[in-house]
A and B are shown apart, each in its own frame.
Chain A
């Protein structure tokens, strides 16, 4: 079984793998191709087909003209909403998680084990158990149907994962390093800034990518706590693609789906390694 030796058995392996890969690519390829086909062309044939005339105009329409529930602003305002929720929530939850992970992993204080144990529950507790309390919290703070409300939710909910990621990374920092720093006279903050944070880029990238992908892709909170022009793109996409009543607009809808998927897809293309590390790290707790 060496690389390069070509036998019938290996040909079979390659054939199977390539076939499965094609199957995995198919749904997305279909959407990508449809985003460049006209509605008429799709209606005549099917969703699956090679574009006959490249309808790049679909993207322009999807971006700022397409109508969803009487507002014809395209997907652009919803993309902005998602960005305005995802970016602050990602940054804040990552920073807080880094500090919390640092405190839990490298310092001893009363109740540390308990706190950490409870935080890990957040990985498992279903969102449905938190929906009602969030409804109340948002109403009491007058943040219902605001982007700030979603930022708050994603920041706090994200703390479980960000704390866990950072904690698991920081426990590998040798205790001797901490001791050396204490003898050198460094305190809690200085150790964090000068020693721990400079070691953190790998885990911060993992955490940021994880948070960005999950908050961008999140749907339940978006659809529950925002309506109309305040919705993030995932929630808007459902109403947009469901608007098939009058004339089917599959070309433009596909373009909208492509646009909505693009940010996380780009993150995956450029940071796939870190994304997978987050996936497996989340699994082996």
Chain B
């Protein structure tokens, strides 16, 4: 009846405590102390080395006033929105297509998912070649005879951010597909039978019975993809290096720039905390939503 796990009341021996607590304290302790320490540094006048002192919000104001950060944040809004929407659509589309009992589903699924196993450095490099007008797709089309064809987003200040969207969607939409497909497959077969007996056609069953199951998954996918977008670093480094100029800066690059290229640790830490706050703006509502869902489910 009661399924509470056993208590460790009989555990009086040291090795057991060590084995339990060392990894747990390492895992939990470093997170808390590291996060708190970075937050603390963001309020100090630290430059090349961390120093004590209190400058209030000066680092934050400084970061928020830089062009670098503002461009990065604008880019994040554009990139985040476009990337999440496109990979959601792509993932859902692929999941629905694969759900049509087609042949070779396993092979196709592997193809859509393989970019996830690759380093962003690898994929970023591959895309930087493809999108490079001098050697990539533009060159190919030009060689084929259409000499006026232009596809030079990579070196176009206004369009360069879209190359990151393309590469990111290509790399991550398989993840959305995997979750959506799992959701589609989790629909109770009896539910579909009941709908068939009610006289619903395949399309109506899909729209009214199956797709509604997906919306909690959609929220999860959106949150995870946003989390990825906010922390994107490697892909940009490999694909555009933040350029042309600083046209494709993202917050994670700004943090790195402050900390290790300009030696402004206080500002770097402040930028990192701003990143964390952005992330929390996504995660806290999500956790609240999950909590409500959980409460509702356990009450039912």
| A contact residues vs B (CB 8 Å cutoff) | 1-3, 10, 13-14, 16-17, 20-21, 23-28, 30-31, 34, 42-43, 45-49, 96-97, 99-100, 103-109, 115, 118-119, 121-122, 124-134, 136, 156, 159-160, 163, 175, 178-179, 182, 187-189, 213, 216-220, 223-224, 234, 237-238, 241-242, 248, 250, 253-254, 257, 260-261, 264-265, 267-268, 272, 275-276, 279-280, 283-284
Does B30 sit within 8 A of A, measured CB to CB? Answer: yes
Chain B binding site: helix, strand, loop or mixed by DSSP?
helix
Q: Which residues of B contact A106 (CB under 8 A)?
A: 5-6
Complex Cα distance A272/B116, Å?
Answer: 11
Q: Are A127 and B101 in contact (CB-based, < 8 A)?
A: no
Q: Given A20-B97, A100-B20, A268-B117, list of 17 further CB < 8 A pairs? A: A2-B101, A13-B97, A30-B130, A47-B139, A118-B31, A124-B227, A125-B31, A125-B276, A126-B272, A127-B233, A131-B256, A159-B23, A175-B5, A217-B120, A219-B234, A220-B234, A237-B125
Does B35 sit within 8 A of A, measured CB to CB? Answer: yes
Complex Cα distance A105/B5, Å?
Answer: 8
Interface pairs (15), CB distance under 8 Å: A20-B112, A21-B108, A28-B115, A48-B140, A100-B27, A106-B6, A118-B31, A122-B27, A130-B35, A159-B26, A179-B6, A217-B121, A234-B122, A234-B234, A264-B118
Complex Cα distance A21/B136, Å?
Answer: 20
Complex Cα distance A41/B149, Å?
Answer: 22
Q: Are A96 and B38 in contact (CB-based, < 8 A)?
A: no
Q: Which residues of B contact A115 (CB under 8 A)?
A: 24-25, 28
| B contact residues vs A (CB 8 Å cutoff) | 3-8, 10-11, 15-16, 19-20, 22-28, 30-35, 37-38, 41, 50, 94, 97-98, 100-103, 108, 110-123, 125-130, 132, 135-137, 139-140, 143, 170, 174-175, 178-179, 182, 202, 220-221, 224, 227, 230-231, 233-234, 237-238, 241, 252, 255-256, 259-260, 265, 268-269, 271-273, 275-276, 279, 283
Q: Are A132 and B41 in contact (CB-based, < 8 A)?
A: yes
Contact of A160 among B19, B31, B237, B252 (CB under 8 A): B31
Q: Which residues of B contact A130 (CB under 8 A)?
A: 30, 34-35, 38
Q: Are A213 and B31 in contact (CB-based, < 8 A)?
A: no
B231, closest chain A residue (CB)? A126
Complex Cα distance A159/B27, Å?
Answer: 6
Listed residue (A24, A34, A238, A254) with the most chain B CB atoms within 10 angstroms of its CB: A24
Q: Which residues of B contact A104 (CB under 8 A)?
A: 24
| Chain A: minimal CB distance from B265 (Å) | 6
A258, closest chain B residue (CB)? B122
Q: Which residues of B contact A268 (CB under 8 A)?
A: 110, 114, 117
Q: Which residues of A contact B5 (CB under 8 A)?
A: 105-108, 175, 178
Q: Are A224 and B256 in contact (CB-based, < 8 A)?
A: yes
Q: Which residues of A contact B114 (CB under 8 A)?
A: 24, 28, 265, 268
B103, closest chain A residue (CB)? A3
